[in-house]
Structure 1
Amino acid sequence: MSIAFDDREKAECLADSIELQCSDNPPYDLEHVRRVEEEVCHRVTLPPEDDLDPITQDEISKHIKGLKIRKAPGRDTISSKALKCFSAPLVPLLVAIFNACIQNCYFPTAWKEAVVIGIPKPGKPRDLPASYRPISLLSVLGKLFEKTLKTRLSDQLIGKGLIINEQFGFRPHHSCPQQALRLVEHISEGFKVKRKTVAVFFDVAKAFDRVWHAELIHKLYQLELPDQLEYLKAPRSLPLLYPAYINDIPRPSSGVQLALFADDTALYLRSNSIGNILPRLQRAIDELTQWLRLWRIDVNPDKSAAIYFNYSSRKEKFPVPCDTPHLRILNQPIPWQHHYKYLGITIDKHLHFRNHIARVKKLASFYLSRLNGMIGRKSKMSLRNKRTIYTMCIRPVMTYASPVFAHARPDILYDLQIMQNKFCKRAADAPWYVKNSTLHRDIELPTISKFMKDASERLFDIASNHPNPLLVEAVSYEPPPPHHFCRRPRSVLIDPPDELTIECRVLQITSRPPERAPPPTRVAATCGRRPHATDPRVADPRAAGRRCPVPRAASRAPSTHAPPPGAATCAPRTRASLSVRLYYLSSYLLPTRVPATGLQISDSDIE
């Protein structure tokens, strides 16, 4: 290990680290490697047997409109804004260049060169080159060409249904919460019939960086893609190519289930005892490990995890019984864990989701403290903008994939509601005696339980009519009755609302303005003079749906047009434009609106 002092030496260290990260894994079967590379070299030298659809000007114009002008340019210093400004004369030239590249099966080398910037990874030591995430600034023209090729590749892979159903990554209408929901549904179904589940989560090291390119081209040929797509080694297309690279992954037998999301791989099996699960699951692990070694995909056993799921109302001290053997990857034991973070969701062995709620609560509290200058009590920002910041930056952290854990115990989920209550107090600068239901009503913010229930309804509606049969099978069941000991994700759909949601709903109903009466008949004034408000021929202003004047403060001079003592007055609107503390105090002391004559409100409080 050497020490770099100046910028040149640091750049060399960073370049060596990136080169090491992107190098191929060592081969396991040399004969297999030689055979694949010879076949690929032979196929590449042959002329293409089929042609891709030519690129049109409308397609290029559409992609240019979608470019983001704030993106940094590559080495050629051509920016996205320049392409947008001169798109009319450039589009025919770009179409000719791109079509020539496709016909000659050539990707320009200059478009593969990038300016690499190292961004430090959070929580990693700054003195190690591996602690920096490389950000590549590619040419905008190369990105534009890659986007057109990616569209054609997606039509071939996704449109023809070549990707297996177990793969949920980089596919339209598929997402991380859906794959996690499929796993949780399988485990909770076993809890219902008192069966155990063992799941193994594999950590694939540098999956995208160390793809064996010769084998990738070989598998594209096996999928019968057009020959002109064989040179697709661009970063923009690699996330879509990786599912094609592992598309022939062995599907385990004997009841073992496979779950894939790009490089995140999981195997799980359900049975009545752990003794029946481990031998069958170990055979599936050995079969998968041999396939990964054959195609030069490295798995880290130390970062992989195995979890034994069983139903229990309280947390057990040990993850498995003491005499339980370890599952192994290449004779290296896989550690048993109490919980594991899978696709952004911390899943524990009892499906209590305590660890997940605690983690997202801590993260939301961190964001809330960092944004306190904009959404805190001393901020001059409007309530509407504060609510927008909260719904865009803080609430998504707490409610990500909420249909997966929305069926957890209410006392566990209430920690998330506490975070939202803190935001409401700070945003409205409300005193301690203001009810949370009043704050939610004024800020027009649904409770956490209501938001998660609505999200669950949307997800289950989508999953019930999903094109993937595995997801449809996972969510096709009737939720157990409320008194059942086991709750499943669909149980949240039939749960009654909590107390805070009921209070907010009651306040919304009671605070609605009364229906307006039909306008009264217009009365003509006698002798050309305006009739007085006490004239019986003039209707009550409130009956006509008009707001009555609010009395001014006592310190000001009385108005000459003030209504007589017998005229009707109305209560002020409970909005942020009025005195916030005075309104909240009145709503706390009295269940109904306070008459306007009992308040002292200045003109500056009324907008």
Structure 2
Amino acid sequence: MKLRDDAKKEAKLSGLESDFAVYRKLRNRVVSEVRKAKTCFYREKLDSCSGNPKQTWNTINSLLGRRHTVSPACVLTNEKLLSKPRDIAEHFAGFYEDKVTTLRSSMDQANDVPVYPGHTQRLRIGLTEQFTFQTVSGKDVHKVLSRLPDGKAPGKDDLDNKLLKMSAGAVAEPIAYIINLSFKTAKFPTRWKHAKVVPIPKDTSKPLSGTNSRPVSLLPACGKVCEILASEQIVSYLSQSGLQSEAQHAYRKYHDEWLHSMDNGMMTAVVLLDYSAAFDLVDHGRLLNKLSSCGFSEETVGWVQSYLSN
């Protein structure tokens, strides 16, 4: 490496192509030697775990830089100190469930509608086609896998984005098969619904508690791939059918009209509202009825219903 660095300095000083050629040759040699050393290191690490699956996976996780989520050692609630992991988990689970239940009970249910498929009202006026999921290919899955961000914590299956991206060439087709089977049978894979819920503190200067935390659900990466592919088809249909309001700006690409107004030097006022547990409070019956009225096929609505169910 010292020879490489010296050659680089000399090439920069002289500016001669011959000196740069010497530098590039030494640089490539260093890169090659480093790769060989890494390969030898990884092989020795894995060989030392031969016959011990648990140690093998621990070594792989260590080499990939995976970190296990550290659970809080103790939580103070109602003047009671919880130290057992199970008690802490049950405390947070109960708090989050009670929060949603309380919010739902406070909502006005006077205009509630029957759960799908009891509601018969339809709003298909002007719709010329019915939406149903199209078959996805291994290439589609591979494309989504390549876009997954690195460094995200894995779900309960411990398959993180980095590992799936590295093995995309081998797993894209099997994942596509499962997704297509899911669309065809109108059933979202149960295991892809299982999540690790991690309480993240809102204010790190205060003790972790139910009120001073927000739940983050770590879902399986394969389930996220399925969600992305389903979402792309749904959004495309809604956009092409003119079913999205022009006044809707959230969760839409290239539709920030107020940002365009600001870019054009116009005075722009924006009111942002934050609903507590907004997604948890979506009425599933109304949502399914709305999808049906927007031309979604019975199979597609059934798939969404399966996705939303526990």
Q: Deviations over 1:413-463 (max 9, x none)?
A: xxxxxxxxxxxxxxxxxxxxxxxxxxxxxxxxxxxxxxxxxxxxxxxxxxx
Cα drift, residue 99 of structure 1: 0.7
CA distance in 1, matches of 2:156, 2:246: 40
Does residue 1:146 correspond to 2:217, yes or no? no
3-state SS, counterpart of residue 83 of structure 1: helix
Does residue 1:205 correspond to 2:283, yes or no? no
Does residue 1:58 correspond to 2:139, yes or no? yes
Does residue 1:232 correspond to 2:297, yes or no? no
Given that 2:131 and 2:237 are in contact with CA atoms closer than 8 Å, whether structure 1 keeps it comes out as no
Given that 1:40 and 1:217 are in contact with CA atoms closer than 8 Å, whether structure 2 keeps it comes out as no
Match of 2:88 among 10, 16, 31: 10
Match of 1:219 in 2: 290
Q: Which amino acid aligns with 2:93?
A: A
CA distance in 1, matches of 2:218, 2:133: 28
Which TM-score applies when normalising by structure 1?
0.32
Q: Deviations over 1:152-210 (max 9, x none)?
A: 1111122322111211111121238539859x7477xxxxxxxxxxx987654332221
CA distance in 2, matches of 1:129, 1:100: 39
Cα drift, residue 123 of structure 1: 7.1
Given that 1:37 and 1:215 are in contact with CA atoms closer than 8 Å, whether structure 2 keeps it comes out as yes
CA distance in 1, matches of 2:89, 2:257: 36
Structure 1 residues 113 and 78, CA gap change in structure 2 (3 angstroms): same
3-state SS, counterpart of residue 175 of structure 2: helix
Match of 2:108 in 1: 28
Match of 2:35 in 1: none
Q: Which amino acid aligns with 1:9?
A: D
Match of 1:72 in 2: 153
Deviates most, 200-209 or 218-227: 200-209
Given that 1:112 and 1:234 are in contact with CA atoms closer than 8 Å, whether structure 2 keeps it comes out as no
Taking the TM superposition and a 5 Å limit, the aligned residue runs for 1:355-370 are none
Match of 2:171 in 1: 90
Match of 2:14 in 1: none
Cα drift, residue 105 of structure 1: 0.5
Given that 1:157 and 1:163 are in contact with CA atoms closer than 8 Å, whether structure 2 keeps it comes out as yes
CA distance in 1, matches of 2:131, 2:273: 39
Match of 2:211 in 1: 130
**Relative contact order higher in (CA < 8 Å, ≥ 6 apart):** 2
Structure 1 residues 51 and 153, CA gap change in structure 2 (3 angstroms): closer
Q: Deviations over 1:264-315 (max 9, x none)?
A: xxxxxxxxxxxxxxxxxxxxxxxxxxxxxxxxxxxxxxxxxxxxxxxxxxxx
Cα drift, residue 131 of structure 1: 1.4
Cα drift, residue 92 of structure 1: 2.2
Structure 1 residues 109 and 29, CA gap change in structure 2 (3 angstroms): same
Q: Which amino acid aligns with 1:64?
A: L
Say what the alpha-carbon RMSD is for the aligned residues.
Answer: 3.4
Q: Which amino acid aligns with 1:122?
A: D
CA distance in 2, matches of 1:20, 1:222: 32
Match of 1:318 in 2: none
Structure 1 residues 180 and 15, CA gap change in structure 2 (3 angstroms): farther
Cα drift, residue 89 of structure 1: 3.0
Taking the TM superposition and a 5 Å limit, the aligned residue runs for 1:569-580 are none
Cα drift, residue 74 of structure 1: 1.0
Given that 2:187 and 2:306 are in contact with CA atoms closer than 8 Å, whether structure 1 keeps it comes out as no
Identity of aligned residues (%): 24
Which TM-score applies when normalising by structure 2?
0.59
Does residue 1:37 correspond to 2:135, yes or no? no
CA distance in 2, matches of 1:15, 1:223: 35
Match of 1:114 among 167, 191, 195: 195
Structure 1 residues 12 and 36, CA gap change in structure 2 (3 angstroms): same
CA distance in 1, matches of 2:157, 2:120: 34
CA distance in 2, matches of 1:148, 1:172: 16
CA distance in 1, matches of 2:207, 2:91: 13
Structure 1 gap segments, 5+ residues each:
44-48, 188-198, 238-607
Structure 1 residues 56 and 130, CA gap change in structure 2 (3 angstroms): same
Return the structure number with greater helix share: 2
Given that 2:116 and 2:285 are in contact with CA atoms closer than 8 Å, whether structure 1 keeps it comes out as no
CA distance in 2, matches of 1:234, 1:130: 31
Aligned length: 217
Structure 2 gap segments, 5+ residues each:
1-76, 122-129
3-state SS, counterpart of residue 215 of structure 2: strand
CA distance in 1, matches of 2:178, 2:196: 23
3-state SS, counterpart of residue 37 of structure 1: coil
Q: Which amino acid aligns with 1:224?
A: G
CA distance in 1, matches of 2:170, 2:271: 56
3-state SS, counterpart of residue 216 of structure 2: strand
**Highest Rg: 1 or 2?**
1
Match of 1:101 in 2: 182
Q: Which amino acid aligns with 1:141?
A: C
Structure 1 residues 114 and 132, CA gap change in structure 2 (3 angstroms): same
Given that 2:132 and 2:296 are in contact with CA atoms closer than 8 Å, whether structure 1 keeps it comes out as no
Does residue 1:163 correspond to 2:244, yes or no? yes
Q: Deviations over 1:302-344 (max 9, x none)?
A: xxxxxxxxxxxxxxxxxxxxxxxxxxxxxxxxxxxxxxxxxxx
CA distance in 2, matches of 1:203, 1:132: 16
Given that 1:114 and 1:136 are in contact with CA atoms closer than 8 Å, whether structure 2 keeps it comes out as yes
3-state SS, counterpart of residue 133 of structure 1: strand
